[in-house]
Amino acid sequence: MLTIRFQRIGRTNQPAFRIVATEKARAAKAGSIVEILGNYNPLTKAFAIEKDRVLARIAQGAQPSGSLKNLLISKGIIEGKKVNVLPKRTAPKKEEPVAEAPKAEAPAAPVLEAPVAAEPAPAEEAPVAEVAPEAAPAEEPAA
């Protein structure tokens, strides 16, 4: 089965690509190219392609790679929906702030369950200010 894909031909940090038709099982740089269909330079956005040859290859059953298919759709050569060519785990996980380890504290005493009381504890009352007793009649000693 033929596939239409990019073949990288640029130097380090200066990518340039040929658009080639090749066997799907072959590596892109192996050199066994069926046909060179165009070229693309992503730095200068230069794009040259033989539109009729690409459409003829696709009509014969050649499948464009995901990246090339997206480029052809954006240039208006073929119609369709763009495909996601990124790996399955596309969204990088947002780094959560690392929780600081708690500072060295005395180990907490184990909490023991209190025995269940039959009666509820009386509610605490507000403290009552002691008032000096007024002059009360003194009690007479019993005879």
- pTM tops 0.85: no
Give the least confident one: 37-46, 82-91, 99-108: 99-108
Q: Which of these, 29, 22, 26, 30, lies nearest to 4 by C-alpha position? A: 22
Query: So what CATH class is 2-75?
Result: alpha beta
Mean pLDDT calculated for residue range 84-107: 68
pLDDT of residue 25: 84
Q: Which tens digit of pLDDT belongs to each residue from 15-57?
A: 999 999 998 887 767 768 899 999 999 999 999 999 999 999 9
pLDDT category at 89 given cuts 50, 70, 90 is confident
Task: Give the separation between CA 39 and CA 54, rounded to whole angstroms.
Answer: 12
pLDDT of residue 121: 60
Mean pLDDT calculated for residue range 5-24: 92
Q: Which tens digit of pLDDT belongs to each residue from 63-84?
A: 999 999 999 999 999 999 999 8
**Contact residues for 79 (Cβ-Cβ < 8 A; gap 6+):** 73
Q: Give the domain ranges of the chain.
A: 2-75
pLDDT category at 12 given cuts 50, 70, 90 is very high
Mark 124-138 as b/e (b = at least 16 C-beta within 10 Å): eeeeeeeeeeeeeee
Give backbone dihedrals phi and psi of 76, rounded to 5 degrees, phi first: 85, 15
Alpha helices in the chain (DSSP H): 51-59, 66-75
Length of the chain in terms of residues written = 143
